[in-house]
């Protein structure tokens, strides 16, 4: 068995590790380190982490997050559509306009229902 066949795999692994580890090490070595009480305090999901586990919290945080993911995924369709617009022709244009109309109606609906209001 010839080990030269595995050289590209080894290089791929080394470059992957370097790209993953080097920025973290550089950030730790070169970045400012001035911890204070606010930076060291735990914060997650809009409420303090070290309170009663059975406390009530606002579900709107998760609603906004889910809506963001939903509309973010829908807008991800715009780039490939724009790139392949010439190959799709008028049929592709009309299909995408109906998609955009559905997108706008959905956004208008959640806006009118108050899902994006944060009190």
- Cβ–Cβ < 8 Å for 47, 62: no
1 found inside a domain: no
Contacts 24+ apart (CB under 8 A), 18-23: none
- Which residues have a Cβ under 8 Å from the Cβ of 45 and sit 6 or more positions away? 57, 61
First-last CA distance in the chain: 67
Name which residue leads in pLDDT, 28 or 4. Answer: 28
In the numeric block, which tokens belong to residue 16? 């992957």
Domain count, the chain: 1
CATH no. for residue 97? 1.20.58.1610
93 found inside a domain: yes
111 found inside a domain: yes
* 42: confidence class by pLDDT, cuts 50, 70, 90: low
7 found inside a domain: no
**DSSP state at residue 113:** T
Segment 73-99 shows an average pLDDT of 88
Please determine, for residue 51, whether its predicted confidence score (pLDDT) is greater than 70: no
42 found inside a domain: no
Segment 84-104 shows an average pLDDT of 90
- Cβ–Cβ < 8 Å for 115, 63: yes
18 found inside a domain: no
Pairing of strands 47-48, 43-44: antiparallel
> Mean pLDDT, the chain, as a whole number?
83
* 111: confidence class by pLDDT, cuts 50, 70, 90: confident
Which structural domain, as residue segments, surrounds residue 113?
53-119
């Amino acid at each position: 068995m010839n080990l030269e066949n595995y050289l590209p795999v080894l290089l791929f692994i080394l470059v992957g590790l370097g790209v993953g580890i080097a920025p973290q090490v550089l950030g730790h070595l070169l970045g400012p380190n001035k911890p204070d009480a606010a930076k060291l305090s735990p914060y997650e999901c809009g409420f303090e982490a070290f309170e009663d586990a059975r406390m009530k919290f606002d579900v709107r945080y998760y609603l906004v997050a889910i809506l963001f993911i939903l509309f973010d995924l829908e807008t991800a369709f715009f780039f490939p559509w724009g790139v392949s617009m010439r190959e799709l022709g008028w049929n592709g244009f009309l299909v995408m306009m109906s998609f955009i109309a559905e997108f706008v109606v959905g956004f208008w609906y959640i806006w009118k229902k108050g899902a994006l209001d944060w009190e």
